[in-house]
A and B are shown apart, each in its own frame.
Chain A
Amino acid sequence: MTVSVLYSVLLLVSLGGLAAVVLYFVSKKFYVYENPLIAEVEEILPAANCAGCSSPGCKSFAEKLVNTDDISDLFCPVGGNDVMKQVADILGKNVAEKDPTVAVLRCQGACDIRPKTTEFEGPRTCAITAMVYGGETDCQYGCLGDGDCVNVCKFNAMYMDESTGLPVIITDKCTSCGACVEACPRDIIEMRPKNKRDLKIFVGCLNEDKGGIAKKSCEVACIGCSKCEDVCPKDAITMFNNLAYIDPVLCTLCRKCVPVCPTHSIIETNFPPPKVKIEKEEKKSIPKPTAIKEGILQPINLKTDA
């Protein structure tokens, strides 16, 4: 009994010893040198593996950072400037500071202001709906409401608002990885600079139809009247295909365009309420539809502390 126990213990110990020796030599022989910096950089990166930097994951982005000489055009949108600064310190290379961006939804066509004219019975994904036809409403540019963007978001920064049928972006959680921009077949989601205190002004519509047709399909559609273009002191607004676009670089957030828009398709976020005087004038001339305020802007503000 004791002998057989002894034998097996001896056998296993000697096998282990032999394997250790073999493994030692093999690891020496086939040693692959990996720059220790890669591991160090990977440690700093946020490990979200979101592919927002256009590398497949954080490890490969770290390799890219270490192996590329000029990294000024590489950027981790999730980590932002802080992470890139730490990376630059380790690697001793220069990085360009970028303004943080955030995803915005350029459509305000909630269910009550953009009536449905048809019904789609097929599979509920935006990609297939967009392939089959122009969507359930008469606007073929707006949100399809099937939530492909919400499904791809890895940071829980989006959810579908049941009452409006539109996705809502929680700006504090959004890392601007760009997954939703890619998933949206309509290109409604745009990355715009976050600015100070998350102040943003943008046109919440992509409808390229002529004014009358656009207005008929959706109450808050941009009708291409170019009033905002005329009032803009910095020439930041351009008109193309019956549609206004506000250039975020040129825009100084003066908000002159917001009250002149007859359909309220220009969205402002996180601004303090306008002064009493202006508000009075505004109310006299153009009553704002409540749906815009309640449907889109409020949830964004509310959910920032969620």
Chain B
Amino acid sequence: MLKTFPKGGIHPPENKITSAKEIKRLTVPKVVYVPIAQHIGIPAEIIVTTKEKVEIGQVIAKSGGFVSSNIHSPVAGTVTKLDKIIDSSGYKKQCIVIRTDQKDESNFEVPDFPLKKEITMNQKDILKHITDSGIVGLGGATFPSHVKLDLKNDNHVDCLIINGVECEPYLTADHRLMLEKADEIIVGIQILMHALHIHEAIIGIENNKKNAVEVLKKAAQSDKRIKVAALQVKYPQGSEKQLIKAILKREVPKGGLPMDVGVIVHNVGTIFAIYQAVQYDQPLIERVVTVTGKKIEHASNFWVKIGTPITDLVNEVGGLPEGTRKIVNGGPMMGKAIKNTDVPVTKGTSGILVISEEEASRGKQENCIRCGECVTVCPMGLEPHLLMSLTEKGMYEKASFEDIMTCIECGSCSYVCPSHRPLLDYIRYGKNIVKKLQTAKN
């Protein structure tokens, strides 16, 4: 019996159309739009001016604090303007617009780094490289990675978990990366274990990616400290807390972090970025993006420069099919619909999903029939129907008492609701207000 988390969860249709498609390199865009807020925390501070020439990989925005991250130029070219562009949040945000220099060869070189297994750096240098390279959690939450690695003395961490679950339907970016860069990922894990003095690492992969499990098992053969755990297929297993529970049976306390139970979790994409940053001093300027949808002609996975407009990606796969209703940045469960295709790819973009008219419909909202489906599927053991009605009525203190803040926003409740109630929308709003009230109190 394969492991999984015990409480709740759902089984949406997988639709992993692109799982056999090799990661292709997208043509370098003519213009890139690099937002300065691509991570959770304080936005980076711009350190370039208009008309300034920038090199590929040059820092163009400096980390604005501890929970923040550097941003590097994804191309060599000229900064044309500092403007506000709609990003995936739906609002106009500060962006650095860079025109690619078509004559500069460094833009078109395909980076080819041979596998480098020796770890020569000491712990301090590794952490410095990770901080400077602007690495954030590439699973989608974009939490600056160096913050997770900055361990206090009282946090005893004994296990590193690598998140290769990719439980979101449609997305295959992590899956392909594991297949194609398995050796590099293993070295990346070794780097982290070396830096953090951890002697155990477990790679968690859902069992619908059997080939990835095999490939990684083979790659990890030489290192006895690294194990690969095949997990049952269940959404939202890719969530940090659920993954820890599934693999180690440890429960992260309410309001706590994985560190509190001696675990650090990193996504496979992040591990690969760390490998590149430490071994080859490569900053995070590109990532794997799955461009998919049932009606997309040439759905595939791509290496994409950060800041590439989604238009370029859509054109690459054969344009928007007729009857397109929604374009989602991310997966269908947790992704966010974008306003137009000018939105740039950021560090957190794991996929672009094109949804047609019939799939996009939300269904008419009806009254709650108290069936309790949402309670059954909630992986955090909450009562979504209650949280929604409390938020609707403005009873935020009661909602806070009912642990609205522990919601991981996986959307399982909205998915199963037979009355099509917008449970997650209200819970998110409630969380916003409760957070504001809590900060006002302190």
Contacts and interface: CB of A to CB of B under 8 A. Distances in A.
B90 interface: yes
A209 B91 contact: no
Given A133-B89, A140-B91, A121 B339 contact: no
Nearest to A136: B339
Contacts of A117: 339-340
B426 A128 contact: yes
B91 A128 contact: no
B92 A132 contact: no
Interface string A74-114: 00000000000000000000000000000000000000000
A134 B92 contact: yes
A128 B427 CA distance: 10
A68 interface: no
Contact of A131 (B84, B86, B361, B428): B428
A131 B339 contact: no
Interface size class of B (residues with CB under 8 A): 20 to 34
B422 A123 contact: yes
A140 B365 CA distance: 27
B362 interface: yes
Contacts of A51: none
Given A121-B362, A123-B422, A133 B429 contact: no
A122 interface: yes
A122 B89 contact: no
A127 interface: yes
A235 B90 CA distance: 36
Contact of A118 (B339, B362, B365, B422): B339
A140 B92 contact: yes
Contact of A122 (B92, B360, B422, B432): B422
A40 to B, nearest CB: 33
Contacts of A118: 339-340
Contacts of A132: 90, 336, 425
Given A123-B365, A140-B91, A209-B92, A133 B425 contact: no
Contacts of A134: 86, 90-92, 339
Interface in B64-119: 84, 86, 89-92
Contact of B362 (A122, A128, A140): A122
Interface in A164-217: 209
A128 B425 contact: yes
B425 A122 contact: yes
Nearest to B421: A123
A123 B426 contact: yes
A147 to B, nearest CB: 15
A5 B11 CA distance: 74
Interface string A243-269: 000000000000000000000000000
A234 B92 CA distance: 34
Q: Identify the 8 closest CB pairs spanning chains A and B, nearest first.
A: A133-B90, A123-B422, A134-B90, A121-B362, A134-B91, A122-B425, A128-B429, A128-B425
Interface of B: 84, 86, 89-92, 336-337, 339-340, 360-362, 365, 422, 425-426, 428-429, 432
27 contacts: A117-B339, A118-B339, A118-B340, A121-B361, A122-B362, A122-B425, A123-B422, A123-B425, A123-B426, A128-B422, A128-B426, A128-B429, A131-B428, A131-B429, A131-B432, A132-B90, A132-B336, A132-B425, A133-B89, A133-B337, A134-B90, A134-B91, A134-B339, A140-B90, A140-B91, A140-B92, A209-B84
